[in-house]
Amino acid sequence: MTERTDAALRAHITDDPWARHLGVEFLELGEGRCRVAARLQPHMVNFQGNPHGAVIFALADIAFGAACNSHGVASVALTMTIQFLRAAAPNARLIADADTRRQGRTAGFYDVTVTTEDGAEVARVQAVAHRLAPQA
């Protein structure tokens, strides 16, 4: 992480109320990348008994948000496209890895992969972030 992504920025990024609510654990956070994990809970399944897609998407979104803001410039999501590849077991531990594919002046392009703990791919996400202008 660069000087701009110091301990205060790391603390700010990882102090996410929604991530805490979901039980997300920040495993790695570096400039332009983030790895998070969460254990699926009984209330996170849908009516078919499979992990709810919204929970999988939320885990990917948390990793993406941390990765795009880890550069030290406030950024927000413009688009996120998810492909669900397989269902995970209802009590699985999921891991989301977000990496920068390309970072421009105002837009960043990110790849996020969500896997089970044993490496089975659950979902892939392509995301675009917009860097906000500094507050005057």
Domain annotation covers residue 113: yes
Domain annotation covers residue 29: yes
Q: Which of 105, 62, 104, 94 is nearest to 80 (CA)?
A: 62
Domain annotation covers residue 31: yes
Domain annotation covers residue 136: no
Task: Give me the mean pLDDT over the 107-132 stretch.
Answer: 97
Per-residue confidence (pLDDT) for residue 83, from 0 to 100? 98
Q: Which of 80, 73, 71, 85 is nearest to 121 (CA)?
A: 85
Instruction: Give the angle 89-59-33 at the CA atoms, nearest 5°.
Output: 125
Per-residue confidence (pLDDT) for residue 32, from 0 to 100? 96
Q: Which of 26, 30, 50 is nearest to 40 (CA)?
A: 50
In which domain, by residue range, is 104 found? Answer: 7-131
Domain annotation covers residue 2: no
> Residue 48 and residue 6: Cα distance in Å, rounded?
43
Q: Which of 131, 89, 95 is nearest to 112 (CA)?
A: 95
Sign of the C-alpha dihedral computed for residues 79, 83, 84 and 85 taken in this order: negative
- pLDDT grade for 56, boundaries at 50, 70 and 90: very high
> Residue 36 and residue 95: Cα distance in Å, rounded?
6
Q: Which tens digit of pLDDT belongs to each residue from 12-33?
A: 999 999 999 999 999 999 999 9
> The whole model's pTM is what?
0.92
Total structural domains within the chain: 1
- pLDDT grade for 1, boundaries at 50, 70 and 90: very low
Per-residue confidence (pLDDT) for residue 6, from 0 to 100? 82
Q: Which of 16, 14, 11, 129 is nearest to 73 (CA)?
A: 129
> Residue 46 and residue 96: Cα distance in Å, rounded?
20
CATH code (residue 45): 3.10.129.10
> Residue 62 and residue 106: Cα distance in Å, rounded?
20
Per-residue confidence (pLDDT) for residue 4, from 0 to 100? 46
Domain annotation covers residue 66: yes
